[in-house]
Amino acid sequence: MKTTDFPKHAQQFININNWQEQYRLLMKLGGDSNKTSQTDKTEKSLVHGCESQVWLQVNQSGERYQFSAISDSRIVSGLIVLLLEALNDKDKTYIESFDLNNYFEQLGLSQQLSQSRTKGLCHIFEHIKQLTTES
């Protein structure tokens, strides 16, 4: 994905030149996204393999998928916003071929995220791919 093709929040994120400001944006995005319904926190929607608790919902409309997620961690929620923004309203082929590592590298997140947080985001992404395969 070319950086000029990035979704709105990802574009906003890469236009910020320092990590502290990027972190603030992630926290803001995470706070805004956690207004999702608490009823979405079910055992069925829980993503396993993350240090933070994450609940993920998927809706399919034709060939396109729409995801929503909530986490008990504001920073993880912000990172999820960046991920879901890139995957929402896409088809299974796009999602399966999406290069998560390259996306986070282009955003400049690879050097900022801890190994455990990176693994958690990979688990979320793998869960997303599994949900699209099951549908």
- For residue 9, pLDDT over 80 is answered with yes
- For residue 104, pLDDT over 60 is answered with yes
Q: At what angle do helices 100-107 and 115-134 cross, to 10 degrees?
A: 140
Q: Which two three-digit tokens encode residue 95?
A: 């999602």
- The one-character DSSP state at 46 is B
* pLDDT bracket for residue 42 (50, 70, 90): confident
Cα–Cα distance, 80 to 56 (Å, whole number) = 10
CATH of the domain at 121: 3.90.1010.10
- For residue 27, pLDDT over 60 is answered with yes
Q: Which two three-digit tokens encode residue 46?
A: 């829980």
How many domains, in total, are found in the chain?
1
* pLDDT bracket for residue 35 (50, 70, 90): low
Please tell me the predicted confidence (pLDDT) of residue 34. Answer: 60
- For residue 81, pLDDT over 90 is answered with yes
- For residue 60, pLDDT over 90 is answered with yes
* pLDDT bracket for residue 113 (50, 70, 90): confident
Range of the domain at 71: 3-134
